[in-house]
Amino acid sequence: MNKLPDPDRSLTTGEGIVIGSVLVRVGAVEDAAAIRVAPMFLVSAGSLRYSLDAGPQRNTRAIFEKPIAGESPSSLLVQPGKEEVFMTRMPAGPHVFFRLVPRGHEDAAGSLGIRFIVAPGATTYIGRVILDLPDKLPLGGGMPKGLYSLRPKILIEDAEQATLDAIRNTQGPVAGNVARDLMRAE
């Protein structure tokens, strides 16, 4: 998701380009978990890698007409403390970052609900999403699967200039005007 496939191909009316960034911060919040566990079951949140999954925003009727199981989400691999900038081509319409998944502990994926719009035939900056996690997570060996799920604190920021500069430094110039329509966390 973080590199634009085939950057020379023109956009169609059914797709757009989205630009943004993701930062997972560890230790910025206290864990408000409903369960208390022994220290031997705690894992350092900073030692894990995460994937941020996105896909089209769907209502119940659309899910029955075309089940989600047949779709593969777009994913962005994220390392704590390192901002990941992305620029990708997606189908036009409403989309959602729907889950944050700790790699190796997929059963503890956290639901997000961060919505954004992919404008048809345009390039849109959607913002920087910051996901704050506690230092330690109850994911260690011996913990029953499915007992815990991530509950990151979600912040959305406008860091357009820094994000566009990062893309220009790594991928070259960004074509055309970039509109701003920031994500919304619900």
* Nearest in space to 66 (alpha carbons), one of 80, 51, 76, 56: 56
pLDDT digits (tens, 9 = 90+) for 155-169: 999 999 999 999 988
Q: Inform me whether the pLDDT recorded for 115 exceeds 90.
A: yes
The Cα-based distances of 151 to 2, 28, 40, 154, 158 in angstroms read: 24, 13, 21, 9, 23
Cβ of 19: how many Cβ atoms within 10 Å? 22
Asked if the model's pLDDT at residue 24 lies above 60, the reply is yes
pLDDT digits 0-9 by tens, 34-65: 567 777 888 899 999 999 999 888 654 544 45
HEC-encoded secondary structure of the chain: CCCCCCCCCCCCCCEEEEEEEEEEEECCCCCCCCCCCCHHHCEEHHHCCEEEEEEECCCHHHHHHCCHHHCCCEEEEECCCCCEEEEEEEECEEEEEEEEEECCCHHHCEEEEEEEEECCCCEEEEEEEEEEECCEECCCCCCCCCCCCCCCEEEEECCHHHHHHHHHHHHCCCCCCEEECCCEEC
Distance separating alpha carbons of residues 76 and 97, to the nearest angstrom? 10
* Residue 8 confidence (pLDDT): 61
Q: Tell me if 151 sits within 8 A of 110, measured CB to CB.
A: yes
Q: Report residue 9 as tokens.
A: 């191909």
Closest CA to 54 of 103, 84, 98: 98
Report the length, in residues, of the chain: 186
CA distance 157 to 122: 21
Where residue 175 falls among pLDDT bands split at 50, 70, 90? low
Work out the mean pLDDT of the chain and round it to a whole number. Answer: 84
Question: What does pTM read for this prediction?
Answer: 0.85
Residue of higher predicted confidence among 36 and 5 = 36
